Amino acid sequence: MSHHAPAQPLTVSARGALRGRITVPGDKSISHRSLMLSALAVGESRIEGLLEGEDVLATAAAMRAMGATIERDADGVWRVHGVGVGGLLQPAQALDMGNSGTSTRLLMGLVASHPITATFVGDASLSGRPMGRVIEPLARMGADVTASPGGKLPLMLRGISPAVPITYTLPVASAQVKSAILLAGLNTPGITRVIEPVPTRDHSERMLAGFGAALSVEDTAEGKVIAIRGEAELRPQAIVVPGDPSSAAFWLVAASVVPGSDIVVGNVGLNPTRTGLITALRMMGADITEEDARIVGGEPVADLRVRHAPLRAIEVPADLAPSMIDEYPVLFVAAAFAEGRTVARGAHELRVKESDRIATMAAALGACGVAVEEHEDGMTVTGSGGEAIPGGATIASKLDHRIAMSMTVAALHARRPVTIDDAAPVATSYPTFFASLDALTGGAPA
């Protein structure tokens, strides 16, 4: 998994209106967590709608390596026989995380409070990403981490049991750091607390409570205090994973900017910590309606109908950043077609994603004839007022799946075809993306 196949360049041309109904792959955040917690429950859990991308499969492989039995039925339902909290086994070889930062950070938390040693390795992109923000609180709990220079992969983590419960205030808004500490707290005697000054996605809290962990969430003057009582007994669950709002994002923008479009994206998770992009697009005038709103497994879900609408530039509220951090690249694409100058700030986190998403998107949009101004923490984009953008460029996606998909969306309303230098990384999060594009546009370009 950790060596890159030859690049797969892809040229995308405008294809006219998007029409029809699709579903998107299961939510990546929920897919990772459902495998991990099922592997710590005693008995068999069933998972429907699991995202079968490379990142989630890396989590499945790691949980198998630590003793869980994980099988996929012919009908796509996954069955997991867990080992119980405290029951993780010493893996026989290094855990290959591929490109998955989520797998790495959350699994470090799980291992930290078990008496085992695990070595984490990843591909070139993941090996450049900083892990210090997770290492620091886990070391306070007693884990011993030997990382590569700069707190990077490969790293070796020696867990400890019993670990020490801590109260930890998050220095940066990060659901992954929060989740790593809570997962470490599962097998730690006493109460482990995370204080969150800025709210981040809460999938871990919802799912831990669903599996039966003793967890409380309290709003205080310092922020949200999430407390978990350790030495938990998790009960097996039947989980239906909702569609990933980060994957739906590409279609919300595509249908908004391509004239004549009218689509329905079914079964999209609408957890309020994940809907920042929908909020921002509606502020810009997007026509997005929720149909058949429902609750599935503790998570709000609806079908989203999106019709083409003229977009207006906005100043993106900085407080939306945590709930749309992965959607900024495609928001920049929406801004490229809006009327006026859209200013998006407060997104420093984009500099340390799979690529530097601010610099990479600024270069990509600029190459396609869009006027952009890069800021340390975001971007100002001058839109086309709904007209097609010039296009005609070859884009460096920097092995980043979200850049590749975002620029595919931009190409759907460009005057000249746009070439993505490597479309292969899209498989990490959305293996059926290009098939869905064909379904909505009646096949390949005319």
Sequence ranges of the binding site: 28-29, 33, 101, 129, 174, 176, 326, 353, 357, 402
Planar angle of CA 106, 109, 110, nearest 5 degrees: 90
Which residues have a Cβ under 8 Å from the Cβ of 292 and sit 6 or more positions away?
Answer: 302, 303
From CA 139, how far away is CA 147, in angstroms rounded?
Answer: 12
Task: Provide the edge-to-edge strand list for the sheet that holds 215-220.
Answer: 167-169, 191-196, 223-229, 215-220
Q: How many CA atoms lie within 13 A of 155 on its CB side?
A: 30
Minimal CA–CA distance to 253: which of 392, 358, 407, 357? 407
With tokens 């920049």, the residue in question is 332
Strand 152-158 to 144-148 pairing: antiparallel
What is d(CA 437, CA 299) in angstroms, rounded to the nearest whole number?
Answer: 27
Of 340, 357, 339, residue with least CA distance to 348: 357
Angle 72-75-77 from CA coordinates, rounded to 5°: 45
Query: Measured between alpha carbons, how far is 321 from 325 in angstroms, rounded to an integer?
Result: 5
Strands 10-12 and 418-420, bridge-based pairing: antiparallel
Q: Extract the tokens encoding 257.
A: 């900017």
Residues 210, 200, 374, 335: what is their CA dihedral angle, to the nearest 10 degrees?
60
Residues that constitute the known binding site for 3-phosphoshikimate? 28-29, 33, 174, 176, 326, 353
Return d(Cα 2, Cα 5) in angstroms, integer. Answer: 9
Q: Give the integer Cα–Cα distance in Å for 80 and 66.
A: 13
Residues assigned a catalytic role: 326
Q: Which residues neighbour 5 within 8 Å (Cβ) at sequence distance 6 or greater? A: 424
Binding residues for phosphoenolpyruvate: 28, 101, 129, 176, 357, 402
Length of the chain: 446
Q: In angstroms, rounded to a whole number, what is the distance separating the alpha carbons of residues 198 and 171?
A: 10
- Contact yes or no for 372/366 (Cβ under 8 A): yes
Give the whole-angstrom CA distance, residue 442 versus residue 437.
8
Continuous segment of H or E residues that includes residue 147: strand 144-148
Contacts of 218 (CB under 8 A, 6+ apart): 224, 225, 227
Structure tokens at 247: 């994957």
